[in-house]
Structure 1
């Protein structure tokens, strides 16, 4: 009899649990994307700021709501230019023009950035004077353009028995460009050739 009551009680608890609505976890708001650029207008958090008007005049500490209204009345924006100051420094300006100008300057700066390349000059231990002069002019032009130069001196056959000739040639090259270039990688053997890298000063 007791076993029967226990079975009925278990069944009633099981039915009760099935009838309960599922537990819902609270919805989490998606992460707020970081703002690209300075805070403007109502995004400025501080109640008071250091205000510079559209003419560059420092108006001193000003309530943010007042400064935003002044910017709106002038048809402009209130832009936070120094957020780490206490209070932060804000300026009334045309933010659209300011952002366009900043993007244009950044694009021009990227164009002016020089990508350093490594140019290769191949030499032979027994190079004649004409070829040497041609190679040196090319090397100096590379340095003027801001590029590095990899000098490859290749030995053939019996030339390996006279490595001092190649060493003197590399020393001659280093001395000739000493005013405009420095040794970044000293001469070292790679198989039957010697490699040296020079970089512009």
Structure 2
């Protein structure tokens, strides 16, 4: 959250000028008067010290910087959504092509995919070959995050967009 101008409630602030020069400890009113005379905003950089450090920033620039930081933070927060695709070892060619094109579209749109093959009995090697084929066919838009994992009743691999 950005605290600026009249919202700063401290009696005294440690002020930094427009060019980064230290102006020392001044009263809130003096700092606001300086900001007004320089056509700038008074922005509090930290609330955890006394007196709070504040700086003069060109009018409107502080909000733009805060909006950019918030936007950048929102994009990086949270894990990448992974779309799971269920296949079978005995998949027909047309169905394989359909799933392949769906995965291709998602990877091209910067989304991760995870093909999962349910296996029974001795189908493990066939499932591994099918996943290797999928990875090879999607190599231009995606790369393996994990190796091909065959365990128990499932064979899976996670693909991330390039």
Q: TM-score of the superposition, structure 2-length normalised?
A: 0.62
Kindly indicate which of the two structures has a greater share of residues assigned to helix: 1
Please state how far the C-alpha of 1:134 moved relative to its aligned partner.
0.9
Cα distance in 2 for partners of 1:92, 1:162 equals 66
- Alpha-carbon contact 2:149-2:157 (below 8 Å) kept: yes
| 1:62-141 paired onto structure 2 within 5 Å | 62=23, 64-65=26-27, 66-72=30-36, 77-80=41-44, 90-91=55-56, 101=64, 104-105=67-68, 108-109=71-72, 116-141=80-105
Change (3 A) 1:70 1:140: same
Q: 1:172 deviation in Å?
A: 1.0
Give the equivalent residue in structure 2 for 1:144: 108
Q: Which structure carries more relative contact order (alpha carbon 8 Å, separation 6+)?
A: 2
- Asked whether 1:51 is paired with 2:17, we answer yes
- What secondary structure is seen at the aligned counterpart in 2 of 1:184? coil
Q: What residue is the counterpart of 1:190 in the other structure?
A: 152
Identify unmatched segments of 5+ residues in structure 1. Answer: 1-35, 53-57
CA distance in 2, matches of 1:152, 1:39: 52
Per residue, is there more strand in 1 or in 2?
A: 2
3-state secondary structure, aligned to 1:137? helix
Q: Give the root-mean-square deviation of aligned CA atoms.
A: 3.9
The structure with the larger Rg is 1
User: Which residue in the other structure is 1:175 paired with?
Assistant: 136
Question: Cα distance, 1:115 vs. partner?
Answer: 5.8
Aligned-residue offset at 1:61: 5.1
Matched pairs, number: 150
